[in-house]
Amino acid sequence: MKRWSVGILAVLVLILGMCALYATHMIRHGFSTRTPPSGVETTMATTMRDMAVPARYKTLKNPVPVTPEVIHEGLAHYADHCAVCHANNGSGDSMLGKGMYPRPPNLAGQETQSMSDGEIYYPIEYGIRLSGMPAFGDGGDNDIESWKLVAFLRHLPKLTPEEEAEMERLNPKGPDEMKEEMDEEKFLNGGDTSAQTTTMQKQKGHKR
């Protein structure tokens, strides 16, 4: 046998072995998303994701001037669209986030914060395949709403308790909670229903 064919055979055996190992892991643990992803899975997924982000995003800076107003707009948008998975403080410790596979990372933590503006922008605009992270934009580099979210994500590590309390008020409400608030408002207005729209969630930022 030629030396190169031995090499190819060895690579094939290695790939088959890895597939067998992964299949055994799946059979043992099933498709449950309850257990956190293993180190190997996380490393493989993160490496593939990093490779999928086009290189020019690594050097892209936020084109939106970061003012308190911009951060506040990002905060309101995030509370409405993102907190359901990522939690208001970015920890991922939300009802949905805890059961996802892969889990949403801690957006206030070192790993996300050490990414460039463009690298944070990219998953917001384009989503992350084979994960729960949806695309919120229509593509391109100039989605102002996504850049405002990047500005807010940079602010996450400095989030104040007051800001978190405001976000709680902005979080989407379920039908029961909404009805409860409406009834309360109706009671406070002495039966006047005209003010009810104030509790309805208004769409902020992205359409999705």
Give the binding site for ligand HEC (CB under 6 A). 45, 49, 78, 81-82, 84-86, 96, 100, 102, 104-105, 111-112, 120, 123-124, 128, 131-134, 136, 149
Of the pair 109, 199, the CB lying nearest ligand HEC is at 109
Of the pair 135, 182, the CB lying nearest ligand HEC is at 135
CB of 66 to ligand HEC, least distance (A): 15
Q: Which of 3, 164, 140, 194 is nearest to 78 (CA)?
A: 164
Residues 76, 80, 84, 90: what is their CA dihedral angle, to the nearest 10 degrees?
Answer: -10
The Cα-based distances of 71 to 6, 54, 146, 156, 188 in angstroms read 59, 26, 12, 10, 33
Q: Which of 136, 153, 154 is nearest to 145 (CA)?
A: 136
- Alpha-carbon distance 85 to 96, whole Å? 5
CB of 149 to ligand HEC, least distance (A): 4
CB of 153 to ligand HEC, least distance (A): 6
CB of 133 to ligand HEC, least distance (A): 3
CB of 116 to ligand HEC, least distance (A): 12
Of the pair 6, 39, the CB lying nearest ligand HEC is at 39
CB of 78 to ligand HEC, least distance (A): 6
Helices (H) and strands (E) in the chain, counts: 10, 0
- Alpha-carbon distance 78 to 83, whole Å? 6
Of the pair 111, 192, the CB lying nearest ligand HEC is at 111
Q: Are 84 and 172 in contact (CB under 8 A)?
A: yes
Of the pair 6, 40, the CB lying nearest ligand HEC is at 40
Of the pair 76, 128, the CB lying nearest ligand HEC is at 128
